[in-house]
Amino acid sequence: MDATDLLTDSEPVLRDWLMKRNCSVSPRQFVCFYMSLAAFSLLIALVLVLRGAWLVLPFTGIDLLAVGVAFAIYARHAVDYERIRLFPNRLVVEQVSAERVTQFEFNPRWVRIEPGATPRDRIKLMSRGETITIGLHLAQYRRAQFAAELRMWLRRC
């Protein structure tokens, strides 16, 4: 437990929003699927090699390598999220992308919220010359609703 955990434990959280990527497959299911795909592909390739089609094996390896790289890229971002916590005297925005954690802290009384001009645009938080965008993992139709909800909670501080 580090110092920031102690601070957040002693300070009451007024509201906590967690926005995650929409992933329907768990990492364990993902690995099981890839292993079964690899086993099935290698089994077919070995049968064909035994029948004399030896060129199938290298292409199966290339295919499995390409699929493995694509799966690794996907899995790297599968647990990305944004977490926004509102405390009585601060607003903390934590963004995790590919195991890179970025944390911003604002005074909730000074934060200005600007929803995007179109539903595709992300929400902007501005405070004292600093601007960040949030709402990457929100569905487009929910961004305006979330901006209004966040604005309402910030007025309570």
Residues 16 and 85 in one domain: yes
Task: Find the CATH number of the domain harbouring 125.
Answer: 2.30.29
- If you average pLDDT over every residue of the chain, what do you get? 90
Position with higher pLDDT, 74 vs 69: 69
Per DSSP, the three-state class of 1 is coil
Range of the domain at 90: 3-20+81-155
C-alpha 153: how far from chain center: 24
Compute the distance between CA of residue 134 and CA of residue 106 in angstroms, rounded to an integer: 14
Three-state SS annotation for 59-127: HHHHHHHHHHHHHHHHHHCCCCEEEEEECCCCEEEEEEECCEEEEEEECCCCCEEECCCCCCCCEEEEE
pTM of the entire predicted model: 0.73
pLDDT at position 7: 52
Residues 65 and 90 in one domain: no
Position with higher pLDDT, 10 vs 56: 56
Residues 72 and 88 in one domain: no
Query: Which percentage of the chain shows pLDDT scores above 90?
Result: 69
Compute the distance between CA of residue 36 and CA of residue 41 in angstroms, rounded to an integer: 8
* Exposure string for 55-74, b = 16+ CB within 10 A, e = fewer: ebeeebeeebeeeeeebeee
> Based on the structure, what is the number of domains in the chain?
2
Asked if 40 and 117 count as a contact pair (C-beta separation under 8 A), the reply is no
Q: pLDDT per residue over 100-142, tens digit each?
A: 999 999 999 999 999 888 878 999 999 999 999 999 999 888 9
Nearest to 36 by CA among 5, 12, 15, 64: 64
> In which residue are the tokens 């601070």 written?
7
User: In the numeric block, which tokens belong to residue 132?
Assistant: 């960040």
pLDDT at position 83: 97
